[in-house]
A and B are shown apart, each in its own frame.
Chain A
Amino acid sequence: MDTLVAQLQRQFRDYTISLYHQGFLDDQFTELKKLQDECSPDFVAEVVSLFFEDCEKLIGNMARALDQTGNVDFSLVGSSVHQLKGSSSSVGAKRVKGLCVTFKECCDSQSFEGCVRCLQQVDIEYKSLKAKLQDLFNLEQQIVQAGGRIPQVDI
């Protein structure tokens, strides 16, 4: 009979692996975990939180720029996309980063429909990742509260 801690640890391990396998996260996320220790126990959560705030801000900028019907400044949209691509790359948000690549191409080719579509997808994607990472952090908390240690997961 598994203890609660063992069950939670297994759930955590499986969930983490699935996030990588489904392409939500890449090895830059693993690099961020290496930077977390007893001195900085919430480092990953803090960076990720900054990233999601950044997403909100940049997506807002893109939406406003695309809203200027007939007078869209694609280079402005492109520069926000470039910034989002950079920060998603820095946290290991693989799918968001991938969408930014496509989005940038739409900006470069000044495709309004393409940009609008990409904007919607990026918005959905970052919110989805935010929910999944919240679940992951909740699992970590439950493990710690149950007196266990967060397992090291090798991808």
Chain B
Amino acid sequence: MALGDLSSSSSTSELHVLAVDDSIVDRKVIERLLRISACKVTTVESGTRALQYLGLDGDKGSSGLKDLKVNLIVTDYSMPGLTGYELLKKIKESSAFREIPVVIMSSENIQPRIEQCMTEGAEDFLLKPVKLADVKRLKELIMRGGEAEQEKTSNLISPKRILQNNIFFFIIFFIITITIIFIV
């Protein structure tokens, strides 16, 4: 495998999504929806498990569990134990994970619930049953956000590069000038 291949896989546009849902049927469906949309998927059955996976459950030993950076969290709202809203809050309170977009799914179209989640920082609110079009639109939204991030950092790098290139030319020019002076 050439070095070129390695570098292209690190800048790959594949998202790693953590999907949280207590329903085994819904987990199967969301997993397939995400896989067919070219995402890597990890599914967990509760908010507590999600926090464990991220290493946010206070157990220092579990922080090494995840092997891949999570780019997006999709969670059901109504779950026993920790609800999707409570999970959202915990994620937004954490300095390590607050930048990860969180999307809430619910079978109930309750406006105050939606507003509550959006106010707490949810990226989007999907009404169940989730369809392929919903996931495609979501992926585009997240990718556009990611591309904007990449553009920002590449804009920061190029002026530095330009400066470095300029210093190189100045040095060459200086050497040539000195050489000419000696010759003359």
Contact = CB atoms under 8 A, between A and B. Distances in A.
A35 B135 CA distance: 12
A67 B24 CA distance: 26
Contacts, number: 51
B132 interface: yes
Interface size bracket, A side: 20 to 34
Interface in A58-89: 82-83, 85-87, 89
Contacts of B22: 83
B131 A83 contact: no
A32 to B, nearest CB: 7
Interface residues of B, number: 16
Given A31-B131, A35-B132, A86-B128, A47 B28 contact: yes
Interface of B: 22-26, 28-29, 32-33, 36, 78, 107, 128-129, 131-132
B107 A54 contact: no
A43 interface: yes
A interface, by DSSP: helix, strand, loop or mixed? Answer: helix
A141 B96 CA distance: 50
Contacts of A90: 23, 25-26, 29, 128-129
Contacts of A87: 23, 25-26
A22 interface: no
